[in-house]
Amino acid sequence: MLRLSFFNKKKSHFEYLHSKWSQRHKELQENLWTKHGDTIHSFLSKPQNLAMSTLAGMVLLTTTPANAMVSSNSASQVQQSTFREIDPNTFMMSDLANVLPSQVQPLTSDQENKITDMLSKDFNLSVKAELNGIRLDRNYGLIGKEQHLARFPGDQISIHFDSSGESDKYADTGMAPGLGAWGYFASSQSELTSEDDLREKYYIAVPTFLAPNFNENVATYSAFFKYRKMLVVNPDNGKAIIADIADSGPAPFTGKNLGGSPEVMDYLERVDGAQKGPVLYFFIDDPNNTVSLGPISMK
């Protein structure tokens, strides 16, 4: 009798948990569809996005608000189903897809404003298409892979990476035959700082010479663009990185709108056979130099 009573208590407790988790699961689903229903439907309407496993997983989890009941037979299964991980990048990707043009091309002012507002909130940064009255020729374009830049006189690929060998996989890219637009990052190897090293590691090249009014303000614009921090986002997977402008180019005839270091390209997963793909890139307003270079996640 004592064992039966104990079993009934355990069963009653499980039923209570099951009911509680089921209600919580229903609330989560309703909240997701209330906030993101339009963007989810819009995103799924584009065939090229159907293969994205993160979104597919989310849709399987949420289905519709009417199908919110959990049918698990154990507390652990209920908990696992309720808290199945949803990649937060999924929502950013769907929101971006709802704003971006169907072709990779310069954005309209309205598109720029919507996207910079979105990215500022997602990453808790001040993201700008224009800063100090200066802007690039575009903020949505094809990025291509660049070589490593010499950080100081005598820099070579054999000494370009730290002793851990963690970055050796990028060695086959080689060194660019010339210097970056602003020369060496440091006067000598002994004077190379960790900030200098990161500036080369996470650099991008943008065609500063195509910026509106550049030819009339060469000195001012060159000073502005030197190591200017930018948020670079791959809209196809939501990956983002803080990079700095350390070179000028590429030329329009290359078919690329900007270039990225091997590390930048690798992190953004823009390393397919074509070695290029679409990215968004915007200025970061960071007057006190508090934003770190490198990969960044949504806040």
**Quick one: pLDDT at residue 169?**
76
Please check whether residue 242 is in contact with residue 291, taking contact to mean a CB–CB distance below 8 angstroms.
yes
**Quick one: pLDDT at residue 90?**
87
Q: Which residues of the chain register pLDDT less than 70?
A: 1-86, 162-168, 272-275
Name the residue among 107, 145, 148 with its Cα closest to residue 280: 107
Q: State which amino acid sits at residue 48.
A: Q
**CA-CA distance, 237 to 298, in Å (whole number)?**
13
Q: What are the φ and ψ backbone dihedral angles of 283, each rounded to 5 degrees?
A: -65, 150
**Quick one: pLDDT at residue 135?**
98
Under DSSP, the state recorded for 294 is E
Under DSSP, the state recorded for 148 is B
Question: So where are the chain's domains?
Answer: 2-93, 102-296
**Quick one: pLDDT at residue 244?**
98
**Quick one: pLDDT at residue 154?**
95
**Quick one: pLDDT at residue 196?**
97
Alpha-carbon 53 to chain mean position: 17
**Quick one: pLDDT at residue 167?**
57
Under DSSP, the state recorded for 227 is T
Q: Rg for the chain (alpha carbons), in Å?
A: 24
Q: What are the φ and ψ backbone dihedral angles of 193, each rounded to 5 degrees?
A: -95, 170
**Quick one: pLDDT at residue 143?**
96
**CA-CA distance, 70 to 213, in Å (whole number)?**
60
**Quick one: pLDDT at residue 165?**
52
**Quick one: pLDDT at residue 222?**
97
**Residue-wise DSSP of 78-92:** HHHHHT----THHHH
**CA-CA distance, 33 to 19, in Å (whole number)?**
21
Burial string for 163-197 (b: 16+ CB within 10 Å, else e) reads eeeeeeebeebeeeeeebbbebbbeeeeebeeebb
Superfamily of domain 102-296 in CATH is RlpA-like domain (2.40.40.10)
